[in-house]
Amino acid sequence: MKFLGNVLATVIGIFVFIMLFFFGVIFIATLFGGDDAVSVKSDSVIELNLKEIKNDYAGKYKDPWVTRFSEQKGIGLTDVINAIEAAKTDDNIKGISILNDQSSLGLAQYKDLRNALESFKKSGKFVWAYANDYSQKEYYLTSVANTIYINPAGDLDFKGLSSEVMFFKDFQDKSGIRMEVIRHGKYKSAVEPFLENKMSDANREQITALLNSIWATVSADISKSRNIPLPKLNEIANGLLARTPEMAKQQHLVDVIAYEDVYHDAIRKALKVDKDEDYNKISILDYTQNNVTSALTNTATDQIAIIYAQGEIGSGEGDVNTIGEGSMRRSLQEARKNDNVKAIVLRIDSPGGSALTSDLIWREIEITKKVKPVVVSMGNYAASGGYYIACNANKIFAENNTITGSIGVFGMLPNFSPLANKLGINSEQVKTHENSANYSPFVPVDEKFKAFTLEGVEKIYNTFVTHVAEGRKMTFDQVDAIAQGRVWSGTEAVKLRLVDKIGGLNDAIAEAAKIAKIKKYSTQNYPEYEKTLNDILSGLPFAKSKEAFIKEEIGEENYMLIEQVKKFQKLKGVQTIMPYGINIY
């Protein structure tokens, strides 16, 4: 037995050694490898595919070890746009090829990117595009190109915008899982998906207005780039008159129907490269990385701090995908106390979240703007809590197709008592005082508890509207009339005085410099997240999450349904968040 024990111990020891060796090699390779810059050869073309770019800001960390293991690799859309700007004057770059782009970026981000590509074209260099097929969002970006190619077997999706809202009332009745809704009296559409099984006329009206406003921006940009009148574009969309490559070319939405090899041959010809030779190309990620690491240092003493607020708002530190009070308040404090920082630009891309955290960030901005100006730049979303943290800035910029507003408050609590009754489960409470028991999802909601919670919701709503009124120099009633949870496009928000000007991040930076009365300046990105190595290691390929496996098994749409139910079950405290996801197709 002792012999077998020794053998077993030896086998286990060998196994542990192999595992440690394996992960040690990965660790060393990650630590010391992968940073070699890719050289930019003469007569090069940048290949633009933004599949790996998800956020404006890729984030940075106080711990360099954490930075090494971060999957973001330090490149965000802002870096890409800056690289495109640098490429205008780079003699080695002759053009940009948008090749089978599969980006998950939003329409407001695409607007910023389109502007950068338009500016690049004005330098006299070309922008060409090729895709096997174009989604409508991808076509919006590629319509900026001088020449657009499409695969003969491909298709082009051009049909106008739509949005889908899921309703859960019947699901609740059938499952016994109910969401107890506590809301401000006028905030009618906020929790409609949990109270009704179909869309109200008022809700349909507001979503229709939002989509029409966004479509007006998208179609106007395409009309200008392709020189097609707006009525004609709407006719094409309404009749699906560009659904095949031949029809798309006939409608002048594309220029050439050809396979990818023909596209590359055309680029060779433009570069005067022999047909049997490869032309020089570099991916946008490599070019951006080069630009980030090798750009000339800006020696200006004055700085403008750009603080990125991305994702839903919650407690804790936060990261590149979530807005946490820890990183946001620390960033505002650091920028405020730094004498070199003369102004702050807050870049927001958020549908909102925790009302408490939103208020804490609002307060930090209120303190900061007494010391130096704060200008807001809105991305795809700056709604509900996202607007809460924007409303007191000195100036607010948004894109035409930014989704903003949604000024409203609600609370939701999961209640399983109908399900428990179906399963024969009975829960009872014993308490010393009338209101001493905590909320239980297994007991029907007490009306007094509802009344107390509604009182809190009303208080936060009044605080929210008051903050907006003071920040935007409006009366309480003026804000209340356009609040009540309604969402607006950036175009509409300017008319309603919720936003000052239409423009992107660079416009907001220029405005901040103007207010601070500085001409020469550099920019400094925030936040620096305080993450541990364990937080990052959990995202490595060998630590694939159970969610990823479930998604593979049941499909993306079914997973989204489950996630939406789970998401609302986890909400704690009163929320200033967009009441439902608006997915625009």
163-164 vs 583-584, strand pairing mode: antiparallel
Amino acid letter at 210? L
Q: Are 397 and 503 in contact (CB under 8 A)?
A: yes
| Six token digits for residue 331 | 């960033």
Distance CA(197)–CA(199), nearest Å, equals: 7
Distance CA(448)–CA(471), nearest Å, equals: 35
Q: Are 237 and 139 in contact (CB under 8 A)?
A: no
| Six token digits for residue 578 | 């967009």
Amino acid letter at 88? K
Q: Are 404 and 378 in contact (CB under 8 A)?
A: yes
Q: Is the peptide bond before 527 cis (omega within 30 degrees of 0)?
A: yes
Closest CA to 487 of 156, 189, 136, 117: 189
Closest CA to 506 of 407, 411, 375: 375
Closest CA to 288 of 113, 128, 87, 93: 87
| Six token digits for residue 262 | 């023909």
| Six token digits for residue 195 | 């109270």
Q: Is 225 a catalytic residue?
A: no
Which of 143, 384, 406, 417 is the catalytic position? 384
21-32 as b/e, with b when 16 or more CB fall inside 10 Å? eeeeeeeeeeee
Q: Is 519 a catalytic residue?
A: no
268-274 LR contacts (CB < 8 Å, sep 24+): 270/94, 270/95, 270/126, 271/43, 271/45, 271/94, 273/43
Residue 125 CA: distances (Å) to CA of 100, 192, 280, 426: 20, 51, 15, 73
Which of 73, 88, 188, 232 is the catalytic position? 188
Neighbours of 375 (CB within 10 A): 28
Residues assigned a catalytic role: 188, 384
